Amino acid sequence: MLTQEQNDRLTRVGRGTPAGELLRRYWHPVAVAQELTDQQPTLFVRLLGEDLVLFKDKSGRAGLLADHCSHRGASLLYGRVEERGIACAYHGWLYDCEGNILETPPERNDAIMNSVKHTAYPVQKLAGLYWAYLGPLPAPCIPPYDFLVREGTPRVTVTRPVLDCNWFQCIENTVDPTHAAILHQDAENRRAVPVNTTRGFIDDEPSFDFWRVPFGIMKRRNFANGESDEHPFIFPYILGGGGALYRVPVDDTHTWCVSVSVRPREEGGEDEVEEAVVTYTEPFKDPPDRMHPFTRMKMNTIRQQDFMAWETQRPIADRTLEHLSFSDRAIVAMRRLMVENIEKVERGEDPLCVIRDPDHPVIDTIGANNLNQTGGKTGRGRPYGITTGTLMDQPLKGTGVESGR
């Protein structure tokens, strides 16, 4: 159970908030690259509570500007892209990708052009997506995770609609292995039927391990038949495991889920395909634009079941009312990791997973040829390459989760 202040500290994403400042140290996916075309050269983006317009000018450069024009506030979404940038549709103020004002029709106002700078953020394109950085300069690099930088065809899956809930409850789910045996017991690809719907398949999973790894937390579900299954939580909000699921904080009460991976080119296969394969999921609720309880969540697939759980925890989960149990211990550890890194930012230090070396080697989150630190293998016979870390198998004192199951 948290205090309201602790909950706000972990969840709020606006500029000047503790988590908002932490999140402003990372690059975030903001749009599917293919959606920005010559026919549609502007896209609206909301990220970390900021309203922005992504555009591609006629020289091919991409920019990300604050939505409201610095003149009198019309949206730049309706601006005309030109060779040198984007011109506001209302009176034609012309902005370049850095937010410089190049023209102020109907008159030329040098004082404004020299003194006013429109909010502009760095953008780059990688793995079929545009990425944005809203923090202090110089910007770090997008960490070269294996699932982003392999040679091959990028694959992007976009969840529609955007989730009507805070980002943090989505990522708590990443270190919550017990729910899989209960919530997902009747997902449509389950082959077995549980003997008991209350316990689902939980008795097939006698134990779990969590340990800190250089980029976050690894979790492992140990099955009664001797197999196990592992997934990394990659700081600050990625679920890894072959590809990666990003939970992008749109604002305090909305989260954009986008999966991305680059399928490795096959030996002797075709040349790298630049164009990503993009899939949009069906709406997961009916009607799709309403919130609980004025909509009905679909409960067929694992994803839909997760979305039901996340959205119905309330727009921002109220952690002043929760009662954590021992199996929630990794959630406590994850909150601590988040607080540790919020404090690092407050001290002026770089938080976890901020990488500044452009030549940083590829970060192996799968580790095809390595065993993890305890020597375990996944149920798919594919070990992860994690060699360091601290096992988190001890009860967490003072957190209300001190008894075992």
Nearest distance in Å: CB 39, ligand FES? 23
As a whole number of angstroms, the distance between CA 335 and CA 171 comes to 10
For 97, the 3-state DSSP assignment is coil
Residues contacting 142, CB < 8 A, separation 6+: 27, 124, 126, 131, 148
Residue count, binding to ligand FES (CB under 6 A): 10
As a whole number of angstroms, the distance between CA 77 and CA 159 comes to 23
Cis? peptide before 351, omega within 30° of 0: no
Nearest distance in Å: CB 105, ligand FES? 8
What residues between 89 and 148 interact with ligand FES by CB under 6 A?
A: 90-93
**What H or E segment, with its residue span, contains residue 181?**
helix 178-183
Window 10-49: contact mask with ligand FES (x via CB under 6 A): ----------------------------------------
CA distances from 366 to 27, 128, 302, 384, 387 (A): 22, 21, 22, 5, 12
Asked whether position 71 contacts ligand FES by CB under 6 A, the answer is yes
Q: Which does 88 bind (CB under 5 to 8 A by kind): Fe ion, ligand FES, none?
A: ligand FES
As a whole number of angstroms, the distance between CA 204 and CA 63 comes to 51
Asked whether position 69 contacts ligand FES by CB under 6 A, the answer is yes
**Stretch near ligand FES under the rule CB under 6 A, chosen from 68-76, 123-131, 133-141, 228-236:** 68-76
Question: Please, what's the b/e burial string for 294-333 (b: 16 or more CB within 10 A of its CB; e: otherwise)?
Answer: ebeebeebebbbbbbbbbebeebbebeeeebeebbbbbbb
Nearest distance in Å: CB 104, ligand FES? 8
**Smaller CB distance to ligand FES: residue 69 or 175?**
69
Window 209-248: contact mask with ligand FES (x via CB under 6 A): ----------------------------------------
Asked whether position 74 contacts ligand FES by CB under 6 A, the answer is yes
Q: Which does 69 bind (CB under 5 to 8 A by kind): Fe ion, ligand FES, none?
A: ligand FES
Nearest distance in Å: CB 107, ligand FES? 12
As a whole number of angstroms, the distance between CA 397 and CA 19 comes to 25
Nearest distance in Å: CB 269, ligand FES? 49
Q: Report yes or no: 47 and 162 within 8 Å, Cβ to Cβ.
A: no
Q: Which does 386 bind (CB under 5 to 8 A by kind): Fe ion, ligand FES, none?
A: none
**Smaller CB distance to ligand FES: residue 98 or 103?**
103
Give the tokens for residue 189. 């690809």
**Smaller CB distance to Fe ion: residue 28 or 184?**
184
For 137, the 3-state DSSP assignment is coil
As a whole number of angstroms, the distance between CA 405 and CA 176 comes to 14
As a whole number of angstroms, the distance between CA 16 and CA 394 comes to 35
Window 250-289: contact mask with ligand FES (x via CB under 6 A): ----------------------------------------
Asked whether position 306 contacts Fe ion by CB under 5 A, the answer is yes
CA distances from 60 to 26, 54, 83, 204 (A): 25, 13, 8, 54
Residue given tokens 């779990």 in the structure block: 208
**Stretch near Fe ion under the rule CB under 5 A, chosen from 70-78, 153-161, 193-201, 301-309:** 301-309
Q: Which does 306 bind (CB under 5 to 8 A by kind): ligand FES, Fe ion, none?
A: Fe ion
Asked whether position 78 contacts ligand FES by CB under 6 A, the answer is no
Residues that bind Fe ion (CB under 5 A): 306
Residues that bind ligand FES (CB under 6 A): 69, 71-74, 88, 90-93
